[in-house]
Amino acid sequence: MKLLYGMAALALSAAPLHADEFVRMVSGPAGGSWYPLGAKIMQVMEESVEGISTSNTSGGGVGNVKAVNAGDAEMGWSYGHTTANGYNGVGSFDKKQENVRHFATLYPSYFQTAVPADSDIQSYADMKDKNISPGQAGFTGTAFAESILEYYGFDFEDIKANGGTVSHASYTESVALMKDGHIDVYMAVTSMPQASFIELEQSPGIRFIGIPEDDLQKIMDANPGYIPGVMPAGVYESVKEETPTLGAVANIVISKDVPEEIVYEMCKAFWANHDTFAEVKGIWNRVKLESALDGVAIPVHPGAQRCYDELGVSG
């Protein structure tokens, strides 16, 4: 009996004082930049930070903020304006998402809208009875589409009432739907150029719908956090001249409940491996340490703040 008690005591003394902290990231859909970058980031975190295990799953800007707030994930990709809306419980959020904290500001993405090359659609105002794919439910692209269409005087329900359809499809699904003639409009907030649009340029052939300069500022005034953007000539084969659009700056948020020391170590590993992430997607070259606190409209996690203080970054 004494031996059994002794073995039990030895087993307890040999056990780790703390179990691994499980850090789950929600990133973006397959076919975009966020998902592969998220996978590499979490791989690096697990290899670099003692005491954590990680995972990465697909998601979208609005849903990711909700997931982190609810404790269904510890980290999530989103956009600055989406995060601010969530924290304050406005826009696409029906309650305040006060458990999210800022981890890092990343790079801008842009709202891109394509129609078949031979379409009679010339502006957003022409879409009120069309078949559209504005992005998956809970994705920032869908929120962008709603706000832009609202500016032009209609919403998703109006489209349906007018005989059109609204398909909340993924990038891959949207490509298939347009190739098969089932949608007239494909919208997404993403980096440029993006693979799904490149594929559609090859078949069936597309062109892009811009937002007139006169309308841009009015839409931005109604949607704080939106930024002006331009699709440069040549970014896609079909873009022959600069095309004005809207954008938003991507960021990563983290739960307030992740311990400060772990977030501090994660932040250091995140910035020490910048070149590794750039090998996954070239867009990462636009991520700059000096911009890590740009546009922050929610509290910064204390662990991240400590990291940035040491690295000399101010917001």
Q: What distance lies between CA 107 and its chain's CA centroid?
A: 10
> 101 and 114 share a domain?
no
What is the token pair recorded at 25? 């990231």
User: End of a domain among 248, 271, 288?
Assistant: 248
CATH number of the domain within which 93 lies: 3.40.190.10
- The pLDDT tens digits of the residues spanning 82-124 come to 999 999 999 889 999 999 999 999 999 999 999 999 999 999 9
123 shares a domain with 67? no
The pLDDT score that the predictor gives to residue 29 is 86
Neighbour tally for 307: CB within 10 Å: 24
Say whether both 151 and 233 belong to one domain: yes
Tell me the whole-structure pTM to 2 decimals: 0.77
Q: Could you tell me if 133 and 212 lie in one domain?
A: yes
Pairwise CA distance, residues 217 & 208, whole Å:
20
Q: 14 in a domain, yes or no?
A: no
Q: What is the pLDDT of residues 109-162, one digit of tens each?
A: 999 999 999 999 999 999 999 999 999 987 889 999 999 999 999 999 999 999
- Per-residue pLDDT, averaged over 252-277, amounts to 98
- Structure confidence by residue, pLDDT tens digits, 28-78: 988 789 999 999 999 999 999 999 999 999 999 999 999 999 999 999 999
**Rounded Cα–Cα distance for residues 259 and 272 (Å):** 20
183: how many CB neighbours lie within 10 A of its CB? 26
Answer yes or no: do 72 and 148 share one domain.
no
Write the pLDDT tens digit of every residue in 230-241. 999 999 999 999
Burial of 290 from C-beta contacts in 10 A (0-12 / 13-18 / 19+): exposed
For residue 126, is it within any domain?
yes
Domain that holds residue 207: 110-248
174 and 270 fall within a common domain: no
How buried is 258 (Cβ within 10 angstroms: 0-12 exposed, 13-18 middle, 19+ buried)?
Answer: buried
Q: Which two tokens stand for residue 23?
A: 């850090």
